[in-house]
Amino acid sequence: MSIRERLSGNEAAATAMKQINPDVVAAFPITPSTEIPQYFSTFVSNGTVDTNFVAVESEHSAMSACIGAEAAGARAMTATSANGLSLMWEMIYIASSLRLPIVMSLVNRAVSGPLNIHCDHSDAMGVRDSGWIMLFSENNQEAYDNLLMAHRIAEHKDVLLPLMVCQDGFITSHSIENIELLEDDKVKEFVGTYKPEHYLLNSEEPIAVGPLDVQAYLFEHKRQQAEAMRNAKKVILEVSKEFEKLTGRSYSFFEEYRLEDAEIAIVCMNSTAGTTKFVVDALRNQGIKAGLLKVRVFRPFPAEEIASALSHLKAVAVLDKADSLNAAGGALYEDITSAMYIAQKQVPMINYVYGIGGRDTTSKEIESVYTDLQKIVSTGKLENPYRYLGVRSK
């Protein structure tokens, strides 16, 4: 019997961490993720969990402590945002290269500068190719569910990669919504006990962690990381199926909302999907065959599956909540157009960079994207594929 509650996204993340009860949590506060370790520290102080909570002096130290704990054989978690993730930069790559299944809550926020504490996806996009599995969450329920599945995915013997669960800063992290929680005992049974095969504190098998990796070995080790990321696709689906049996909530690489018979569609991630669903429903009532593909799994990128899901459409718009500053579109757009090209699926595709620095994106603006797609279909002209949504021209 699920537990109905009202929680913010940050509270949902902290609650999931409490139920998982990791061996170590190391964290340093940064808006808008501060509440996650703050809430969790109360669980530590009142004895709800027996986690070793390490209050460090920086985010670099937080990830360093998680790496040390995980390498020693402990299950470790943390949370951060934006500049905090940037300060972890060196250790983010070390965590993945050492194949340590650390789990992190990333509450998405604009990376300085100029200084901005509000939501866009520039922090996540900055580490998209660092070797971390990346799950995105539309709302607090998905942030909670993704965290419950995270360790099962990351710790699988065929994967052994760190994993971050993303949610939109303030939009999701600080908004209170209804949520269904699992009972503590069911979470404990589902997540299981962490039993690493190789770890530093195993006296029966002395090992070194993080040695110099010279020309004769580094290439092969990077190839192994790449194979592990490919393996994660299968594991993500397997864990999602088990989670559905437990909760009734179904997850895959992405969600197709009224996409099956759609002629035009938007692709986006995180909380923007909620606004887009509202617009899709309104357009359907007008007889316009609009749809949505909401990306949940960004790394590993489900290229083949996304290309198949979009192949029947007449025009597609990809929304990026971060600008790659490359004069050729955002990161999600680049990945999707590449996937379509490799699959030999020719569908007109445009990119919109939107929501930078927490700029509100309204239903009217989303509707204007669908209007642009209708124009592309009717005229057959794509014109400029690199566009901005909701930015002042002067």
pLDDT tens, the chain, 394 aa long: 689 999 999 999 999 999 999 999 999 999 999 999 999 999 999 999 999 999 999 999 999 999 999 999 999 999 999 999 999 999 999 999 999 999 999 999 999 999 999 999 999 999 999 999 999 999 999 999 999 999 999 999 999 999 999 999 999 999 999 999 999 999 999 999 999 999 999 999 999 999 899 999 999 999 999 999 999 999 999 999 999 999 999 999 999 999 999 999 999 999 999 999 999 999 999 999 999 999 999 999 999 999 999 999 999 999 999 999 999 999 999 999 999 999 999 999 999 999 999 999 999 999 999 999 999 999 999 999 999 999 998 6
Radius of gyration of the chain (CA): 21
**Measured between alpha carbons, how far is residue 19 from residues 110, 186, 193, 242, 368 in Å?**
30, 9, 13, 18, 43
Domain residue limits, the chain: 3-247, 254-389
Q: How far is 272 from 294, CA to CA, in rounded Å? A: 9
Instruction: Choose the CATH number for 254-389 among 3.30.360.10, 3.40.1380.20, 3.90.230.10, 3.40.50.920.
Output: 3.40.50.920
**Threshold 0.75, pTM exceeds:** yes
* Of 212, 300, 193, 207, nearest in space to 253 by CA: 300
Treating both helix axes as pointing N-terminal to C-terminal, what angle do 89-97 and 59-71 enclose, rounded to 10 degrees?
Answer: 10
How buried is 114 (Cβ within 10 angstroms: 0-12 exposed, 13-18 middle, 19+ buried)?
exposed
Please tell me the predicted confidence (pLDDT) of residue 2: 85
Q: What is the pLDDT of residue 207?
A: 94
Q: Which CATH code for domain 3-247? A: 3.40.50.970
| CB proximity list for 310: less than 8 A, separation 6 or greater | 265, 267, 293, 316, 336, 340, 345, 347
| CA-wise closest residue to 132 among 66, 69, 182, 73 | 66
For residues 354 and 330, the answer to whether their CB atoms sit within 8 Å is: no
On the question of a cis peptide bond just before residue 114, with omega within 30 degrees of 0, the verdict is yes
- Report residue 249: phi and psi, to 5°: -95, 125
Domains 3-247 and 254-389 share a fold: yes
What is residue 381's predicted lDDT score, i.e. its pLDDT? 96
pLDDT of the residue at 394: 62
